[in-house]
Structure 1
Amino acid sequence: MSASVPSRPVRADAERSVARILEAARVVLADDPTASMERIADEAGVGRATVHRRFASRKTLLETLCAQLDDQYLRALQEAKVDTAPPLVALYRVTERVMELKLGNRSVLDAVVSALPGRDSHLSAEVQERAEQLFARLHAAGAITAENPAWCLRLYLAIFDAVHHTPAGARNSPGPPTT
């Protein structure tokens, strides 16, 4: 039987390095979703060895960025009070915040999708569960009348996916199709 080794506290300078690396990754990936770890290190102002010491692989770095985004989604759900607020109010609040997150993190999401094959969703089970809970409450309140609230949630998420794939700077409203 092995004893568990207590983890050492992370030094403040190491925490700052990690924060700089993650911010640099967001900036660099916005320009090039396939950017190298070396380019991210240059943007962060740290050596490539520092990046690799903090993140063993590109996959680990992207998973960390994804986990941070997931935490932001959870915070948005908590701030929207999906458990207690009137369901339509909670839906409005969540929609507003998630729209900001999706548009502000396109590069992270693109990089995750391209670099982590097989990961069909960047949403954690907890985020998914909380969203399902909100849609069940919307259904119970009669705000959505479809038989299956999970189907409505899939449509809702598909709308966010479409927003994510709309080119930056595109018009807010597509208007009528042109021929």
Structure 2
Amino acid sequence: MSSSTTGRPLRADAERSVRAILEAAERVLTENPTASMEQIAEASGLARTTVHRRFSSRQALVDALAASAARQLAQAIEEAYPEDAPPLVALHRATANVLRVKGAWSFALGPAAAQSAQAAELHEQIDHRCLELLDRARTGGVFAPDADLDWIRRVLYALIGESLHGAAPAGSDAGSDADPEALAARIVGTLLHGLGA
């Protein structure tokens, strides 16, 4: 059967187009949150008609961007094997993985893109998975038996956010400030031991 009758190349081409548009939207909107669809199309290297065919409006594009980033965030947590790895190992891996995703998709995971209903649902699932991991850690003695898991989750999120705020861009030569593994070790260490002597 020829590829023209199966439709597979077209589907793969459409997926590549969508990926190019979303990546361009992240770059452009990070620099200019009010950028137009035309500016995003230009940055993607695709025709405006292609962008408008994939996304009916600018808001539809932003919603898709937010949902795509949230899916990557959820996948980053799953790749830490939160149910199988030792809890402390999974916590470190998940933190490093989340840092990588959040560093790459700062606009899509920021407040400007937070109106997407699909992204909001994914973030609820992420919160639930995080609480499950923290509960395993508490059961395993990583945290005190009476530790408030929701408070730990909120502190963890805050530490991740502050670590990324003002951090050097990924790929730059800025030592541990740009290294997700080193940042994760610092975050988990602070979460477990605080800053006291």
Fold equivalence (TM over 0.5): yes
* Equivalent residue runs for 1:14-53 within 5 Å: 14-53=14-53
2:131 maps to 1:144: no
TM-score by length of 1: 0.77
CA distance in 2, matches of 1:157, 1:124: 12
- Match for residue 55 of structure 2? 55
Query: Which amino acid counterpart does residue 84 of structure 1 have in structure 2?
Result: D
Matches of 1:122 and 1:33 in 2, distance apart? 23
Give the whole-Å Cα distance in 2 for the aligned partners of 1:101 and 1:70.
Answer: 9
* Alignment partner, residue 92 of structure 1: 92
Q: What SS class does the counterpart of residue 106 from structure 1 fall into?
A: coil
Does residue 1:81 correspond to 2:81, yes or no?
yes
Cα separation, partners in 2 of 1:103 and 1:47, compared to 1, 3 Å: same
How much identity, in percent, do the aligned residues show?
Answer: 38
The 1-side partners of 2:91 and 2:12 are apart by: 38
Does the 8 Å contact 2:73/2:98 carry over to 1? yes
The 3-state SS of whatever aligns with 2:102 is helix
Separation (CA, whole Å) in 1 of partners of 2:72 and 2:114: 20
Question: TM-score, normalised on structure 2?
Answer: 0.71
1:19–1:90 CA distance, 2 compared to 1 (3 A): same
Structure 1: runs of 5+ lacking an equivalent: 1-7, 174-179
Structure 1 equivalent of residue 163 of structure 2: 163
What is residue 131 of structure 2 aligned with on the other side?
132
Q: Give yes or no for the alignment of 1:70 onto 2:70.
A: yes
What displacement does 1:38 show? 0.7
TM superposition shift of 1:36: 1.0
Q: Alignment RMSD, CA only?
A: 2.8
**2:88 match: secondary structure:** helix
How far does residue 121 in structure 1 lie from its aligned partner after superposition?
6.1
> By percentage of residues, which structure has more helix?
2
* 5+ residue gaps, structure 2: 1-6, 178-182, 184-197
Residue aligning to 2:4: none
Structure 1 residue 88 displacement after superposition: 0.4
**How many positions carry a matched residue from both structures?**
163
